Structure 1
């Protein structure tokens, strides 16, 4: 996971949307004390990620970003920034 995050931060990745499968997800990372439940007072970090599935000719691509808020405007701006919607056939 750390290696994927490091590679994602080092390169300016553009995902190809046309004709490719791209998975989009968000995850909450928080520290839990003594493996008991969730404590909302603890530091929580939301991570938004995009994964482009590999094809016969292209390798998979991964982009992950820490997001301060998960509203539609923030997430859609990340998606539109990372996608290259031109058909490159």
Structure 2
């Protein structure tokens, strides 16, 4: 059996993170690096924000309107039905 157990390894563990450093400058660089990775890569412009607001507004406006049912009949020149299409819930 191994002389080193998981508990012994845990007891001998030395933190290798720069955040565990005694040097405050090293800790600050590590924190700055972490926060930089969390920030968005690029700043979005006012145009993108306006586009998103307009898209959400249009979607909301469509959702509150009542549903419409369409029943379309297409007849051939001889008077016979050529095509019948139904959109929406028909009972």
- TM-score (ref. length: structure 1): 0.23
Task: Flag the structure with higher strand content.
Answer: 1
Question: TM-score w.r.t. structure 2 length?
Answer: 0.23
More helix by share: 2
Larger radius of gyration between Structure 1 and Structure 2: 2
**Larger RCO (CA within 8 A; separation ≥ 6):** 1
